[in-house]
Amino acid sequence: MTLRDFIDRIRTSGRLTVIKEKVNAEYEAPMIAKNTSGPVLFENINGHRAIMNVLGSRDELGAMLNVNRKDIIQSLSGIQPDGEVRIVDSSPTQEVYVEEVDLYSLPIMTHFEKDGGPYITAGIVVSEYDGVTNASIHRLMVVGKNKLAARLVPPRHTYLLQKEAENNGDPLPVSIVLGPHPAVAFASTTRVGEGKEFNYAAALMGNPVELFECDNGVKTPHSEIVMEGYIYPEERTDEGPFVDITGTYDLVRQEPVITVTKIWHRKDPIYHGILPAGPEHLLMMGVPYEPRIYGAVGEVTKVKNVILTEGGCCYLHAIVQIEKQTEGDAKNAIMAAFAAHTSLKHVIVVDEDIDIFDSDDIEFAMATRVKADSDVMIIPGVRGSSLDPRGGLDGTTTKMGIDATKVLAEKEKFERATMPKNIN
């Protein structure tokens, strides 16, 4: 199960756009991806192949899971990180070995005018230290022929491993995986148990994930390109500006540096790039939280579905659909959603007759079922998202929950008119 298999599948379905003309990695390819619906395969970016928008919509995500787009969350909610992982002696990734590293020779893209430089945006950083493994996507800014500035967010796992290695005076060995099967990339964005990312990917695919060992000891999944290297103690450089999920520029920070010591890749490799603040970025950031919200709300009422909306950056706004049993269920659902995903800013709870994938239907529910003095919860001074430009310097924000459900005792007042299915 490879990225190439997935590309062939979406090509057959007619959802793949192929750009055969020569395209520049600086601005031009990202602009084409931004204006293209669905996956886009570039045949020639500075002489290399590249793909963007791999999981650029819920249709592609559903195709990966073999389910309808509206059933994604129910499917994900039933998958546990218990798939099989196998260690193998060799990999198709090792078809070509590059020892003289020159990152500028790869189709690494510059996306926006104020970007700090070219950015690897789909690189899965696999790190191992003292028997502990982690795999997660980090943005990586090219700062030299063999140097990458890595944004490591505290207190996430790669950050903790790097700090532990640094405190012991050790370099942290890493591999950077580009172009694995999309399930591996998706799994690396999901919060699962320690070291369980590849088990989760195997469960998503229904097939074992095979890992091969790099020369620095890091066990790595098959992919189009693998870079291996180290994060050395105390080495820092400026990272940024970079456009994050809100479409606004994140801060410039001092971040650790990855020194790339060698590169492995398949013959004629396909580079994977994620457009910052584009649909793939939003879905891969947000969708992994939807099953967590679904499960948490299911503990307090009968949950039907959950979506983190694209208008809310697939991160800050949630719509929760419930089958209301008693008054107060919606407010309990709101609190459960905030607890499950602490970066959430606004939550709207609706009934099962509202289509959560239709923004007009959501607005209808708010217009006809909300009484602001009793149905709106305001929660000031709580932890929010560091990505929210409106958040406080201390990371706090004000959250809002809206109960847009029917009043059970008066539910006949909210019955939506329908026409007969059969007319004689």
By annotation, the residues acting in catalysis are 244
Token couple for 281 = 């970025």
Residue with tokens 């990272």: 239
Q: Determine contact, residues 400/376, Cβ cutoff 8 Å.
A: yes
Could you tell me which residues are beta bridge partners of residue 348?
319, 402
Residue with tokens 């196998």: 86
Q: Determine contact, residues 276/236, Cβ cutoff 8 Å.
A: no
Secondary structure (3-state) at 339:
helix
Neighbouring residues of 44: CB distance < 8 A, sequence distance ≥ 6: 20, 21, 22, 23
Please choose, from the candidates 247, 253, 192, 188, the residue with its C-alpha nearest in 3D space to the C-alpha of residue 223. Answer: 188
Measured over the CA atoms of residue 106, residue 109, residue 114 and residue 116, the dihedral's sign is negative
Distance of CA 367 to the CA centre of its chain: 32
Token couple for 95 = 């078809």
Residues in the chain: 424
